[in-house]
């Protein structure tokens, strides 16, 4: 500490600024990239999205000669290319939750809301920054995953599809879009529950526990409910045919609806609740 | 200027702040004093709009905190419980908050140097000692060069050097005409720093007075005098309608006269004084006496009130 005797004066601030939404976005970008957990989660998502399709393509290709015709017909090259998305969504969801619950658990949220007392700009900025970062990283990842797995399969002259084939390009790019929405939905769950463990459990229940549970119900119930679950609606956008499920665009629209609903509930609670 | 009117806050069925009204004026350091759990931190959260009052109202310079177009320039806050992400460095913590108002990086570095965190600015805040955390909190509060400062227990965890620095800082800020509102549960600390005191207990206002007035009232105006001519002085003092008690030879405890009056009286009669001390030691006792019924948790473990689960400081 500087001078120890006599009154301490702080240097004056030359140009007082104002609070704007754009500035809150810049602030949230700083918050996101300055944490180690962000870098590890995103790295995991990228590695999984690129690596898993390549690994699976290599394994399938090496076993192709021993496979029966029926077994061969079970392998879809598109599913292979997007195999990493299903796993990466967990990393993205955990990070989405942490973006907000990390502030609650450490008390940072009080500093954030003291700087931005209207609060909503913080939520919008968090969602926007996280969505853009996820998309910018995951779009190249799904594309590399697709082309790399196709390249491996091409060496064995099997399971060739083209990015330009009907629905293929949409589904591959859809992998990145799906991950963005998963991330924002997870962030909303985090903002609603304000607790890391609770939010991750809630996400896992919604995406990994409830869907298989529905299979136990009478099939008439299952058929009526299953397609409309967030996970199934969103994943409808990642396939070219979806028997019994929603078609791609309605599926995506419904998934966007869930995400928007989550964000809206989070916004209402954020403004109303004490910190 | 901070103005609270009938401020009341309940958490569940526990009343943390109860009909609190006070005014904090610019240009002086106002101490906010009360035992732990008396509602100081809650009141500060209400001022900052972090929590909403059940009743009453509080404004800063005539506005609700949420209405400010540039809150960091209006109010700088140090909140009691650390409000820093443990995984982020001090530099990025300050930068992220500065960026919300377009405050430049140079300002962030300036404040890091000012509070003495230069060498650890890139270290994760979670690794900080309590004292370093406080310094970071103070830098956060000063970031926007605010007209009003709200500091919750700023000396907690600081070493003597840091405490000294804070005292000078607070006085300097007040001298610049800023409103400085500082909470503490230590009377002795406030007696050295503050000009005005707002004392609360169990969420209610107990006293709102200048430190001098509070000291006078609290100490009962007792002055301790040590003199080799104590007997002589005793007669003189009694002649001035004051009362005197004395527990040992050569020592008088005078009430009814101020220290300067006694000193002048002694000088006028050529009496030698070895000690002339207004009884400030009893200040702490008086504060404890004043808040005794309002201390939520006693050393013997029994709660003063009926409620006991949640400590809201």
User: Using CB atoms and an 8 Å cut-off, which of residues 86-125 of chain B contact chain A?
Assistant: 86-89, 92-93, 95-97, 99-103, 107, 110-111, 113-116
Q: How far apart are CA B33 and CA B199, in angstroms?
A: 5
The reply to whether A45 falls in a domain is: yes
pLDDT at position B66 is: 95
Query: Which among A9, A13, A35 has CB closest to B88?
Result: A35
Confidence of residue B284 (pLDDT cuts 50, 70, 90): low
**Minimal Cα–Cα distance from A129 to chain B, Å?**
14
Q: How far apart are CA B182 and CA B195, in angstroms?
A: 11
Query: Which among B71, B165, B176 has CB closest to A115?
Result: B71
pTM of the model: 0.86
Residues of chain B neighbouring A118 (CB-CB closer than 8 A): 66
Confidence of residue A6 (pLDDT cuts 50, 70, 90): low
The reply to whether A15 falls in a domain is: no
The reply to whether A227 falls in a domain is: yes
Residues B96, A28: C-beta atoms closer than 8 Å:
yes
Confidence of residue A135 (pLDDT cuts 50, 70, 90): very high
Residues of chain B neighbouring A107 (CB-CB closer than 8 A): 79, 81-84
Taking domain B221-278, whether its CATH number is 3.20.20 is answered by no
Same fold for the domain at B2-213 and the one at B221-278?
no
Pairing of strands B2-11, B204-210: unpaired
Structural domain range at position A90: 21-272
Confidence of residue B250 (pLDDT cuts 50, 70, 90): confident
The fold adopted by the segment(s) B2-213 is Rossmann fold (3.40.50)
pLDDT tens digit sequence for B181-232: 999 888 778 888 899 999 998 899 988 988 877 766 666 678 889 999 988 8
Confidence of residue A161 (pLDDT cuts 50, 70, 90): very high
Confidence of residue B303 (pLDDT cuts 50, 70, 90): very low
Q: Residue A157 burial by CB count (10 A; 0-12/13-18/19+): exposed, middle or buried?
A: exposed
The reply to whether A12 falls in a domain is: no
For residue B88, the 8-state DSSP code is S
The reply to whether A5 falls in a domain is: no
| Mean pLDDT, rounded, for B255-263 | 87
Q: Is the pLDDT confidence value at A24 over 70?
A: yes
Q: How far apart are CA B63 and CA B75, in angstroms?
A: 12
pLDDT tens digit sequence for B139-151: 999 999 999 999 9
The reply to whether A1 falls in a domain is: no
Confidence of residue B307 (pLDDT cuts 50, 70, 90): very low
User: Using CB atoms and an 8 Å cut-off, which of residues 207-266 of chain B contact chain A?
Assistant: none
In angstroms, the Cα distances linking B71 to A234, B58, B82, B97, B144 are 40, 15, 20, 11, 8
pLDDT tens digit sequence for A204-232: 999 999 999 998 999 999 999 999 999 99
* Nearest partner of A28 among A138, A119, A148, A161, judged by Cα: A119
The reply to whether A208 falls in a domain is: yes
In angstroms, the Cα distances linking B128 to A74, A82, B168 are 56, 43, 24
The reply to whether A9 falls in a domain is: no
| Mean pLDDT, rounded, for A146-172 | 95
Q: What residue spans define the domains of chain B? A: 2-213, 221-278
Residues of chain A neighbouring B71 (CB-CB closer than 8 A): 19, 114-117
Q: How far apart are CA A195 and CA A193, in angstroms?
A: 5
Residues of chain B neighbouring A114 (CB-CB closer than 8 A): 48, 50, 71-72, 75, 77, 79, 83
How many structural domains comprise chain A? 1
Q: Is the pLDDT confidence value at B305 over 60?
A: no
Q: How far apart are CA B144 and CA A114, in angstroms?
A: 12
Chain B CA closest to residue A3: B165
Q: Can you list the positions of beta strands (E) in A89-161?
A: none
pLDDT at position A66 is: 93
What is the distance, to the nearest Å, from the Cα of residue B262 to the centroid of all Cα atoms in its chain?
31
pLDDT at position B218 is: 64
pLDDT at position B302 is: 44
pLDDT at position B295 is: 61
């Amino acid at each position: 500490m500087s001078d120890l005797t006599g009154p301490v004066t702080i240097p004056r601030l030359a140009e007082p600024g104002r609070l704007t939404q754009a500035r809150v976005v810049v602030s949230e970008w700083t918050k996101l990239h300055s944490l180690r957990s962000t870098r590890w989660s995103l790295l995991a998502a990228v590695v999984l999205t690129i690596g898993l399709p390549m690994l699976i393509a290599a394994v399938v290709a090496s076993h192709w000669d021993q496979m029966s015709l029926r077994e061969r017909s079970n392998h879809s090259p598109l599913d292979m290319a997007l195999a990493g998305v299903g796993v990466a969504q967990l990393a993205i969801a955990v990070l989405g939750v942490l973006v907000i619950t990390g502030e609650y658990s450490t008390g940072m949220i009080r500093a954030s809301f003291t700087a931005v007392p209207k609060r909503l700009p913080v939520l919008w900025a968090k969602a926007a920054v996280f969505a853009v970062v996820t998309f910018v990283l995951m779009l190249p990842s799904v594309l590399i995953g697709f082309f790399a797995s196709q390249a491996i399969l091409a060496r064995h002259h099997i399971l060739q599809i083209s990015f330009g084939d009907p629905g293929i390009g949409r589904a591959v790019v859809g992998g990145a879009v799906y991950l963005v929405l998963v991330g924002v939905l997870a962030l909303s769950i985090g903002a609603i529950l304000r607790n890391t463990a609770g939010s991750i459990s809630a996400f896992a229940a919604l995406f990994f526990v409830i869907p298989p549970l529905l299979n136990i119900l009478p099939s008439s119930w299952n058929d009526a409910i299953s397609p409309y679950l967030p996970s199934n609606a969103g994943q409808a956008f990642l396939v070219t045919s979806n028997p019994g499920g929603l078609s791609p665009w309605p599926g995506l629209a419904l998934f966007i609806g869930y995400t928007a609903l989550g964000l809206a509930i989070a916004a209402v609670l954020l403004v109303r609740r004490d910190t | 200027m901070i103005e609270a009117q009938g401020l009341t806050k309940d958490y569940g069925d526990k009343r943390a702040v109860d009909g609190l009204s006070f005014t904090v004026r610019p240009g002086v350091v106002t101490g906010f004093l009360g035992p732990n759990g008396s509602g100081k931190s809650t009141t500060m959260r209400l001022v900052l709009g972090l929590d909403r009052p059940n009743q009453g109202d509080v404004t800063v310079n005539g506005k609700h905190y949420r209405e400010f177009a540039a809150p960091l320039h209006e109010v700088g806050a140090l909140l009691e419980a650390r409000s820093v992400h443990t995984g982020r460095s001090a530099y990025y913590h300050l930068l992220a908050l500065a960026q919300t108002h377009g405050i430049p990086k140079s300002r962030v570095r300036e404040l890091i140097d000012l509070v003495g965190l230069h060498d650890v600015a890139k270290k994760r805040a979670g690794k900080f000692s309590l004292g370093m955390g406080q310094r970071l909190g103070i830098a956060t509060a000063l970031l926007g060069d605010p007209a009003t400062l709200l500091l919750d227990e700023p000396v907690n965890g600081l070493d003597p050097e840091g405490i000294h620095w804070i005292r000078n800082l607070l006085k300097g800020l007040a001298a610049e005409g800023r409103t400085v509102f500082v909470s503490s549960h230590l009377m002795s600390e406030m007696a050295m720093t503050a000009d005005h005191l707002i004392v609360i207990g169990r969420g209610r206002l107990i006293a709102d007075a200048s430190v001098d007035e509070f000291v006078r009232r609290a100490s009962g105006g007792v002055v301790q005098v040590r003199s080799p001519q104590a007997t002589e002085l005793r007669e003189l003092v009694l002649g001035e309608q004051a009362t005197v008690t004395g527990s040992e030879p050569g020592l008088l405890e005078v009430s009814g006269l101020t220290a300067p009056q006694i000193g002048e009286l002694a000088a006028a009669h050529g009496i030698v004084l070895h000690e002339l001390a207004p009884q400030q030691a009893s200040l702490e006792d008086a504060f404890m006496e004043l808040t005794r019924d309002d201390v939520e948790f006693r050393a013997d473990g029994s709660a003063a009130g009926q409620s006991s689960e949640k400590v809201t400081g």
